Amino acid sequence: MFLSVRSAIGGIAIGVKRSLAYPLSILGLLVRSSVLLLLFTLVWNGLVSNNADFLPYFIVAYFFIIPVWWTWTAEEYTQNIREGWTLTITKPLTPFLYHILAKLGELFIEQGILIIAGLIVAAYFGVTIHIITLIEISIILLIWRVAEVYFLSSPSYFVYSTWGISVGFRLTELFLGGLFFPLNLLPSSIQNLLSYIPFYHSGYVMIKAVLTGNLPLFSVAYLLGSSLLLIIIGYGIHKAGWRHFESQGG
Amino acid sequence: MEFTRPVGGISRARAVNMPLLRKIKQLIKIGLERYNQYKIEYIYTLLFLGVELLFVLMWYGLLGLNGGTLAGWTFPKIAILMFLYNLVNTLVEMVGYYDMRNLLIGGKRAQISILLTKPIHPFLYSSLRYFYLPGLLKALIYTGFIIYIFYAYSITLSLSFFILVIYAFILHGILMYIIPLLYIAYEKNAEFIRYLLESFAYNANMPYTALEGLWGVVFRFVVPIAFMAAIPAFCVDAFCPKYIVTGGVVVLVFLALTKLLSIYAWKRFEAVGG
């Protein structure tokens, strides 16, 4: 298998067309982010009064940081493997590469629209967003998300569904990554403990970076290192899985 | 589907000749076998539980910094809120919500038509066939945690709690029923409304009683997510007649709306050749 640029662009184009085929779904994503922003800002303001930081924090979290589709990307790949069609129609791209490129095509549209909407909402409420930092963290988070999906989809050849592990990852990221509430509300001892896991850096640190314009290099290095680790582990499992898949007549 | 395919010139009614109970038993068996083959589901269950426990512990840390209470919520009540929400959600979704939705998206009208075989309702068919067995394990564990909190914090249960928990089950069930109905009526275009409903419902594990004024009214009566977990947990040891009455009204109104939606959705489905 070799990478053909034309094929790669074709894969992305398929994703773009898929996304544009259902404009109401895109509207649904905007609605979801808005609802989450509303719910979390209201509830936390009700619980912890006199704190003006919740609104900017959740604007960044729900429009810029939380990816629109990553939870199901691994599961969709599992479904493709289960249906067994991927071998024939994704050449010359590998099935996973095709899958990710198509998803990137969807991402350009859906996440792009979310980011634009987020900038409008932030401007309306007078929240300052550091655009250069936003671009930087978007690239870093994209690498992290691809590594996550690559790792999470690696059991696809052995199990019926990877939905469970994907949702587990997402829930962990939501809770421990500061996407449910700002982690600075916790005691510093707990914050120090959480800083050892990648979700702290992919969530809370990135949100703060967009608001302050200060992107800690340690967090960037930690995320990139974690991504590399996930890719290495995922590669081994994908390779073994592909052998298993082919041995079963896939 | 294996019960309903017509055999060469024989009408569909005559091809379906298994007694009802035997049919239901077979569907349940299919569902159980399906999930028993995939024992990794049980590992996922434990994984989720671990994550949710971590989250409860985070609340413990948060409340500790705020003198042990936030807007009237103490740690035992927050813990009951988290576990109760997950318990209700798990039990309701065990009846195949996810697979019912998957059955309906992607233009699978033909399958739905096949499912419309008496005497089993298609939703019941899907529920029995795709019964999520690992959910039972989760439900038992959440129940255990709730009982532990009651004993550890010497909570005297109120009657209000039990009544409000029933309301929570009904409202979760209404939501589970509404989403497939929307897919029946609008197919993939229902994704938009699904996002909206799920955005609210899947975040019902927050202490919404902290909201006052207009937003308090909205989240109690218009989008009643406060009744899905927060209000039952808040009233665990208190008599809340106001919530029992208002909750009852909300449940009745939403049951009526669901019935109307059901009639509309099936009529629309059949009108476009479903």
What are the pLDDT digits (tens) for A66-90?
Answer: 766 566 777 778 777 777 655 556 6
Residue B8 forms part of a structural domain? no
Contact with chain A for residue B211, Cβ under 8 A = yes
Size of interface A-B (CB pairs under 8 A): 102
The mean pLDDT value for A166-188 works out to: 84
d(CA A83, nearest CA chain B) in Å: 15
Of A22, A47, A48, the CB nearest to B191: A22
Residue B9 forms part of a structural domain? no
Q: Which domain holds residue B246?
A: 18-271
Most B CBs within 10 Å: which of A43, A154, A189, A194, as the mutation test of the B interface?
Answer: A43
Of A42, A47, A161, the CB nearest to B215: A42
Residue B22 forms part of a structural domain? yes
* Distance of alpha carbon B166 from alpha carbon A158, whole angstroms: 40
Contacts of B60 in chain A (CB under 8 A): none
φ, ψ dihedrals at B39, nearest 5°: -65, -15
Say how many CA atoms lie within 13 Å of B191 toward its Cβ.
Answer: 16
Residue B110 forms part of a structural domain? yes
d(CA B228, nearest CA chain A) in Å: 15
Contacts of B207 in chain A (CB under 8 A): 43, 46-47
Residue B6 forms part of a structural domain? no
ipTM of the complex: 0.76
- Which residue bears the tokens 């719910």? A39
The mean pLDDT value for B113-124 works out to: 61
Residue B5 forms part of a structural domain? no
Neighbours of A223 (CB within 10 A): 22
Contact with chain A for residue B52, Cβ under 8 A = yes
Per the structure, the count of domains in chain A is 1
Report the number of secondary-structure helices (H) and strands (E) in chain A: 12, 0
The DSSP code sequence of A94-138 is -HHHHHHHHHHHHHHHHHHHHHHHHHHHHHHTT----HHHHHHHH
pLDDT tens for A118-146 read 999 999 999 999 999 999 999 999 899 88
The mean pLDDT value for B118-142 works out to: 73
Q: Which two tokens stand for residue B170?
A: 């009904």
* Distance of alpha carbon B203 from alpha carbon A27, whole angstroms: 19
Q: Which domain holds residue A79?
A: 5-247
Q: Rounded to an integer, what is the distance from CA B188 to the centroid of its chain?
A: 21
Helices (H), chain B: 12-15, 20-36, 40-65, 75-93, 97-104, 109-115, 122-129, 134-152, 159-186, 191-201, 213-217, 230-234, 241-271
Most A CBs within 10 Å: which of B35, B39, B51, B69, as the mutation test of the A interface?
Answer: B51
B73: part of which helix (H) or strand (E)? Answer: strand B73-74
Per the structure, the count of domains in chain B is 1
Task: Tell me if A36 and B70 make a contact (CB, 8 A cut-off).
Answer: no
